[in-house]
Structure 1
Amino acid sequence: MNRHRSTFLLTVCLLLSIAPYGGETLAQTVLTGRVTDQKGQPLPGANVFLRGTYDGGNTDSTGAFRFKTQRKDTATAVVSYIGYEPFSRKITIGQPGPLTFRLTEAANELNTVVITAGSFEASDEKRMTMLKPIDIVTTAGAGADITAVMNLLPGAQRVGEQEGLFVRGGSNAEAKVIIDGMIVQNPFFSSLPDLQSRGRFQPFMFKGTSFSTGGYSAQYGQAMSSVLLLNTTDLGNNNGFSLGLNLVSANVSYDRATERSSISATGYYGNLKALFALVPQNVEWLREPVFTGSSLTYRFKPSKTGMLKVYGMYSDSRLGMYVRDPRMATETNPQGRVSFNQLNRNAFMTSTYTDSWADGKWLLNAGLSSSYDTDDTRFDVMDFGRSSARQQGRLVLTRLLRNNHSILFGTEASAITLRNTVTGTSYKLQDNYGAVFVESQTYLSRKFALQSGIRVEYASVINRANVAPRLSLAYKTGLYSQISAAYGQFYQTPDYRYLYLNKMLDFERADHLILNYQIIKNQRTFRVEAYYKNYAQLVREFTGETGTPGRQFDANPFRFPWGQTNNTGSGYAQGFDVFWRDQKSVKGLDYWITYSYVDSKRLFQNYVVSATPTFISNHNMSFIAKRWFEKITTNVGLTYTVSSGRPYYNPNRPETPGEFLGDRTPVVNNLSFTASHLTNIKKNMVILYATVDNILNTRNVFTYRYTPDGQTRYAVGPQAFRSFFLGGIVMLNRKAKVNVNEL
């Protein structure tokens, strides 16, 4: 019985093995064809198969394939190849002739063009990465101030006696700071006479930074020259306390992170009296600056795609100093020495929510923000107090289409309230600002990208609207290189100082035209960009005589525009920028070199003829170098900057073309050093740091001022010619780490 059973099983096995073979011979169809790219070049090793079957094969060195199938009538052929978009097509089995499939190269960092004209990115998500947060805190001479580092990039002007960003012939009023899409009303600490103020925000708050020197997206407005876009970090990954102590302040921070949320809190107190006792000052202080503040950040991930961020901060500062005002010069007070006292309070809160749905095809970005800032300012015995408040809402929807195409729709609205007191007279202004915008990005090929948009704005304070078109394009010239171009119109509501007395003014306008070439290869970046800006509808002041017979120009930096104003001003700015960065040639060494040239003239404010503005230096150059020493866990950096002289007003010259603002200050140069050392105390990470600004103790002059009679000139320079700074941070978390590869 066992023998019969064995014979039966053997027979069944033979039948099962023979039957399919015989059926295949009788019923299979041979499919042949070829797989190429869009240029017709063969793709060897591509995988070709019929969906829902095991029938298929790979292409040979000529891109040809051949396999058999039992399918009849129709089937769906699927083709895949590394680096190319998957392809599928319905075919008819048995159709005469070979099949041909053309694949499209998939988007990646090397083969896809990106829009770069007018923009420096600092996000790891972008191929045109230039700077990261770690670059900002390790750059000598910048004091870990975001805006100070931006001033070391091409296109920016270094103006030592004023705060803000001066970009490509634009004043500091023409640049805006934006956090997560929301305009920051007061991004800098309060203005002080002839002194530069720091930015309010810390670099490690942000995961990405985009410094646009012109031609920026239709998503943003109210900035004729530049926008600095800051994107806050997502969920944190640290837990515990950290303590910071330096020559001017002490702070404590707490971080707590879970899988879906994180919270960060910081409190600080500062007093500059000790530092000023060690560092000789060019300022006579009545009361050294004292400041306190706190911040709180909360992040929550309600779903796989959603992210809620809430950030709030509060700070206040007090100081007193003597300033020089030429108008106040007398026989008993020849220097025009006047007391200046200020108490500042600032609060800012922003909340944003981002999400996506439909497999990431729809993106949502919504936000609300509120800010309030007040300065209780006394100039001698006169009240010059001021305050500002802004509430803003913003909503942006983006639709991602096939082949990297996208289109976004957005709107934003702000309610702005300003108050200003001038010698006891109070002024108040209310402005309701709204905008809608549409922008699309289209890839005509992997080598050619086009971004077009339009922005419509309305400002109630002047009861006017504008329509601003924007256009950017880029073409990939090689595997690592590309050229970009941008054009756009940019409008801005006039300085609110003018609107207190004249609400009939129109928007000011600037037209940008930019051409850019960039190559990034082997951790080296070379970039050159040329530009032309045309200014129109600029506000002009007509001051009349200012004390000197025949004089129309008022050089007083503290003046209030009492005279008539209109929009008859105009101007231009043109030039080019060069950027080179090398992180490869010398192990551990990272350096970059920038050079900017700008030629600019304007007829605006109370200028009597067209002239180069006083904040313009035609030539700006910087050299930044950093080196990480592994054996001693220390990072050192050097920064050298040089700027040509700037125009200043000489009342002894005629107010005629070529003579007005025809004098120039000396060249300004600065060599700074920074070092940071990583160590441990009882397994807690400690970071010690030291900086020296203006090592060579150069007696830099930023501008000159004259007494009303024009006989006496005095120089305006830095707060201190040479200074130093020491401090440390202790992270009370044994798991805290610093990525030394970024140092």
Structure 2
Amino acid sequence: MYKKILIIMVFIQNCYYSQIKISGYVVNEYNKPIENVNVFIDGTLFGSSSNSKGFFSFEATSDNISYFKVIYQKDGYDNGEGEYKVKLGELDLGKMMLYKGRTTGIEGVNIVREKKSNEGQLSALNPLDLILTPNSQGDVLSAVIKSYPGVQLNPNDGRLFVRGGDQTESAVLINNMLMSSPFGTAGPSIPARSRFSPMIFSGVSFATSGFSSEYGQALSSILSLNTKSNDVDREIELSVKSVGADVSLNTKVNDNFTLMTKVEYVNLQPYRALFPSRYVWNRDYNMTGGEIAGTYKLKNGYFKSYNRFDYTNFDYQRDDIAISNKLVNTILYEGNIYSNQTINLNLNKVKFFSGIAYNYNNRNIAGIFSDQDKSKVNNNMLHIKSELSFTPIKNLNSTFGAEFLNVHYYIDYVDKNNDKNRLDRAIDNNIVSFFSDNSYKFKKGFSLNAGVRQDYYSYTRDIKISPRVRAEYKSPNGVKYSLYYGQYYQSPRNGDLVFDFKRDLKSERAEQYGLNIYYEKNNRTVFLDVFKKRYNDLTKYVYAPNSRQPINFNNNGYGYAEGIDFFFYDKKTFNNFDYRISYTYLDSKRDYQNYPESATPPFYSKHNVTVNTQFWLDAINSMVGLSYLFSSGEPYTNPNNGKGFQNSRIKPYNSVNMNLTYLFSNKFYIHASVSNIFNFKNIAGYNYGGLSSNGLREEQVILPVSDRFYFLGVFYTVGGSRSTKDKVKDL
């Protein structure tokens, strides 16, 4: 009650402050207007965005200050800023010129929904970064894994494993709304790919260290993608690739409405005919998909829509002595639909955001845990979210929000080899959440962000409160020091809840704290983060005798993860050449699921190194990329050495990758890439069968689908106002 009265009094007080109408316009280095530039007064929520003519206008209060700083930000451009003297009435800021730039992927100050994101959130990779990261094959999440510290290199899985967490601990959002099935389903030893088309997004933001209380259902990280507002004339892009083809249309329907659409088809059968894999394919991997995204500008904001569908199927035979002495036939049919609608409004001194997202996923899969098993799985999600942001007093930004999440999960599983392995059950889990974030800027470079989140879980019948805080100091020489602490909760996996007939499980918990240092000057960036994470209340169970059915569920699991993330980025030393180096040291153990004891999980290694380079060669009109990936090797259980659980490690993973983008003309280019050019013989793991005559179990080496992957694509653009050369050289 007192808080409400205080806020009302503050707003009444603000009414007596003098009003200033601020206007101006933004252009690029060619003196052409730039649309959708976020313009705001530093330290406040006063701001707007530029229109198609580069013009912006908004109102603010003077608040008895003499000078104020205005920030100009847009994905793909270097930030602009200017300091101005307060002038009552109307203030024309004139022209601000922004230059094309490239974000580092580490600095945490970027604009999300026309407000500044929390420190610790990694700023966006641009779409061409995602395509040109060697060995990413244009996969959004693959480019993140092969670019940023804190992410485990796991090339035979493909999903996100962050700071000691498993693949369920990272949340993926589009336009600030959740997506429950961001990866396509893959078979054993086949890496999963994300579902997204990189060119439809303006960038990718990645948070691992102390993300704000706005985000829940994630113990380890948040990956946020924002669809772009098209600012080009009508443009059609056609591509024919070694793995399929696609066509996309980007158009500005009118001054207020922009539209982006894409249809794609992927089929690896022609590729396998030239480059066979280690598996026998009855029907090779093929996927049909489509996307449509639009932005409609309103008087005081904008409405965004993103929608995608895809259908995937494959049928292959693999050798797995752990479950059968004959070839195992693995088959998948999967359909996925995702729809996301959001609205952003600037209501004078209050900013309003609201959205709704729905994810439908249906898959039929056979040959995973047994050569005779089959399962049908429905995994559907509904997410509704709203929030208000405002400035109650000078230098304090506050956000209050609520969200609702419904998850429906159904599984029909049968194993003809064992009648005990049978389940036909559905569950519904509703999560109601409230959150608040408050950021205050002190004098002399100090700032503090504090937030709290409350979640109610209907299926596990528990309420959790998670405080989070981040303190930052920016020294006079530009070095940023940040201390952070946070508690994070999420529901147990759907696959565990559906077997928990007694509903004994509660939500799982992680507690993380650390220190990071960030410095950027003269186009060089250094980032260092020292962290520690503690896990509690992790899911534990055992398997019923002679069955794969888990029983005796409890929350007695625990674990820890601690380490160092390091990132160095240099685009200054060499002309037309930049490189980034990422390194992670991780010490992690956990006792969860059916682990007999605390141990390092099989999806983590102690050391991960990635080196990515890109350079432009004018002599051949091409962009060349090289990368090196190293992982020191994950643990596994070798029953033949008699030393217990997770007692051995596979050999280190190494891969050197290369790509080349050659421009034939302003609208026509070829992109080619090859992974593992030195043909390192990497190992994915080991399987063990029955006892041999010597008393040891038969051992089988699990190898990648193939040691090397080749990609060739031909891309042609019809229409549009910018040449392909300009797009590529903007990198």
**Could you tell me how far 1:213 is from its partner in structure 2?**
1.5
CA distance in 2, matches of 1:144, 1:307: 29
Residues 364, 77 of structure 1: CA spacing in aligned structure 2 closer, same or farther, 3 A cutoff? closer
Q: Distance in 2 between matches of 1:592 and 1:130?
A: 15
The question of whether the paired residues in 2 share the 8 Å contact of 1:163 and 1:172 is answered with no
SS of residue matched to 1:494: coil
- Provide the rounded CA distance (Å) in 1 between the counterparts of 2:534 and 2:637: 24
Whole-angstrom CA distance in 2 between matches of 1:451 and 1:193:
43
Question: In structure 2, which of residues 560, 580, 584 is the aligned counterpart of residue 596 of structure 1?
Answer: 584
Match of 1:148 in 2: 142
Secondary structure (helix, strand or coil) at the match of 2:441 reads strand
Partner of 1:689: 671
Residue identity opposite 2:365 in structure 1: T
- State the match for 1:727 in structure 2: 713
**Counterpart of 1:138 in structure 2: which amino acid?**
L
CA shift in 2, pair 1:354/1:402, >3 Å: same
Separation in structure 2 between the aligned mates of residue 609 and residue 187 of structure 1, nearest angstrom: 32
**Residue of structure 2 in register with 1:216 after alignment:** 211
Q: Is contact 1:119-1:216 (8 Å) kept?
A: no
Residue 678 of structure 2 aligns with an amino acid whose one-letter code is L
Tell me the alpha carbon deviations over residues 220-253 of structure 1, each in whole angstroms, 9 at most, x when there is no partner: 0111111111122124423032211011111111
Q: 1:156 to 1:119 in 2, by over 3 A?
A: farther
- The corresponding residue for 2:516 is 516
Letter in 1 for 2:702: V
Normalising by structure 1, report the TM-score. Answer: 0.79
The 5-angstrom pairing of residues 339-358 of structure 1 reads 339-358=329-348
Could you tell me how far apart the structure 1 residues matched to 2:64 and 2:467 are?
A: 45
> What is the deviation of 1:323?
2.8
Q: Residues 734 and 86 of structure 1: is their aligned pair in 2 closer, same or farther, counting only changes over 3 Å? A: closer
1:631/1:569 Cα in 2 relative to 1: closer, same or farther (>3 Å)? same
Q: Is the 8 A contact 2:467 2:487 kept in 1?
A: yes
Supply the AA of the counterpart residue of 2:668. Answer: V
- How many residues are treated as equivalent by the alignment? 618
Q: 2:172 aligned with 1:177, yes or no? A: yes
CA distance in 2, matches of 1:117, 1:131: 6
The equivalent of 2:59 in structure 1 is none
CA deviation after TM superposition for structure 1 residue 565, in Å: 1.6
Whether the aligned pair in 2 keeps the contact of 1:123 and 1:207 (CA below 8 Å) is no
The structure-2 alpha-carbon separation of the partners of 1:78 and 1:357, relative to structure 1 and needing over 3 Å to count, comes to closer
Partners of 2:225 and 2:156 in 1: CA distance: 25
Equivalent in the alignment of 2:646: 661
> Residue 183 of structure 2 aligns to a residue in which SS?
coil
Return closer, same or farther for 1:123/1:523 CA change in 2, 3 Å cut-off.
farther
Q: Is the 8 A contact 1:601 1:613 kept in 2?
A: yes
1:306 pairs with 2:304: no
Question: 1:545 deviation in Å?
Answer: 6.1
Equivalent residues in 2 for 1:538-557, closer than 5 Å: 538-543=538-543
TM-aligned CA distance change 1:130 to 1:425, over 3 Å: closer
CA distance in 1, matches of 2:137, 2:108: 20
The equivalent residue for 1:578 is 566
TM-score normalised by structure 2 residue count: 0.80
Deviations 1:390-421 (A, max 9, x none): 11111011003554420001111122111112
Per-residue deviation, 1:318: 1.4
The answer to whether 1:605 aligns with 2:600 is: no
User: Which of 646, 659, 668 is residue 674 of structure 1 equivalent to?
Assistant: 659
> C-alpha separation between the residues in 1 aligned to 2:460 and 2:193?
31
Q: How does 1:116-127 map to 2 (within 5 A)?
A: none
CA distance in 2, matches of 1:445, 1:629: 47
SS at 1:301's partner residue? strand
Q: Secondary structure at the match of 2:141?
A: helix
Quote the Cα distance in structure 1 between the aligned partners of 2:107 and 2:505: 31
Work out whether 1:447 is the aligned partner of 2:429: no
With over 3 angstroms needed to count, the CA separation of the structure-2 counterparts of 1:79 and 1:454, relative to structure 1, is closer
Structure 1 residue 603: Cα displacement: 0.9
CA contact (8 A) 2:227 2:306 kept: no
**Counterparts of 1:708 and 1:238, CA distance in 2:** 64
Secondary structure of 1:585 counterpart: strand
Give the distance between the partners of 1:415 and 1:262, measured in 2 at CA.
Answer: 31
Give the 3-state SS of the residue equivalent to 1:140 in structure 2: coil
Q: 1:699 aligns with which of 661, 676, 681?
A: 681
Deviation of 1:640 after TM superposition, in Å, equals 0.3
**For structure 1, which segment, 444-453 or 640-649, has the greater mean C-alpha deviation from structure 2 after superposition?**
444-453
Unmatched segments (≥5 aa) in structure 2:
1-19, 21-62, 70-81, 89-95, 97-103, 415-421
- Does residue 482 of structure 2 align to residue 492 of structure 1? no
Specify the code of the residue in structure 1 equivalent to 2:697.
Q
Cα deviation for residue 378 of structure 1 reads 2.2
Cα distance, 1:446–1:685 mapped onto 2, change above 3 Å: farther
Contact 1:123 1:131 survives alignment (8 Å) = no
Post-superposition shift, 1:87? 6.7
Report the alpha carbon displacement of residue 674 of structure 1 after superposing the two structures with TM: 0.6
1:117–1:486 contact (8 Å) kept in structure 2: no
Structure 1 position 123, deviation (Å): 6.8
**1:432 equivalenced with 2:397 (yes/no):** no
Deviations, residues 659-695 of structure 1 (Å, cap 9, x unaligned): 4212000010000001112232xxx601210000110
Contact 1:121–1:208 (CA under 8 A) maintained in structure 2: no
Structure 1, unmatched stretches of 5+, are 1-50, 52-75, 90-107, 109-115, 547-558
Task: Show the 5 A alignment for 1:197-212.
Answer: 197-212=192-207
Alpha-carbon deviation of 1:270?
Answer: 2.1
The one-letter code sitting in structure 2 at the alignment partner of 1:536 is N
Match of 1:259 in 2: 255
After TM superposition, list the pairs within 5 Å mapping 1:17-166 onto structure 2. Answer: 86=85, 129=123, 131-152=125-146, 153-166=148-161
Partner residue in 2 for 1:553: none
Q: 1:165–1:78: structure 2 CA closer, same or farther, 3 Å change rule?
A: closer
1:289 to 272, 282, 285: 285
Amino acid at match of 1:599: D
- The alignment partner of 1:739 has SS state of helix
628, 643, 649: which one aligns with 2:616? 628
Judging changes above 3 Å, is the alpha-carbon distance between structure 1 residues 397 and 708 closer, same or farther for their aligned structure 2 residues? farther
The one-letter code of the counterpart of 1:732 is V
Q: Residues 81 and 122 from structure 1, CA distance in 2 versus in 1: closer, same or farther, beyond 3 angstroms? A: closer
Residues 397-412 of structure 1 aligned to structure 2 (within 5 Å): 397-401=388-392, 403-412=394-403
The CA distance in 2 between the partners of 1:725 and 1:88, in whole Å, is 58
Q: Which position in structure 1 is the counterpart of 2:191?
A: 196
State how far apart, in whole Å, the 1-side matches of 2:487 and 2:372 are. 44
For residue 429 of structure 2, give the secondary structure of its aligned residue in structure 1: strand
Q: CA RMSD in A?
A: 2.6
Shift of the 585–403 alpha-carbon distance from structure 1 to 2, 3 Å rule, reads: farther
* 1:239 pairs with 2:234: yes
Deviation at 1:567, TM superposition (A): 0.6
> Match for residue 46 of structure 2?
none
3-state SS of paired residue (1:147) = helix
CA spacing shift, 1:81–1:362, aligned 2, 3 Å: closer
Structure showing greater radius of gyration is 1
Partner of 2:50: none
The equivalent residue for 2:537 is 537
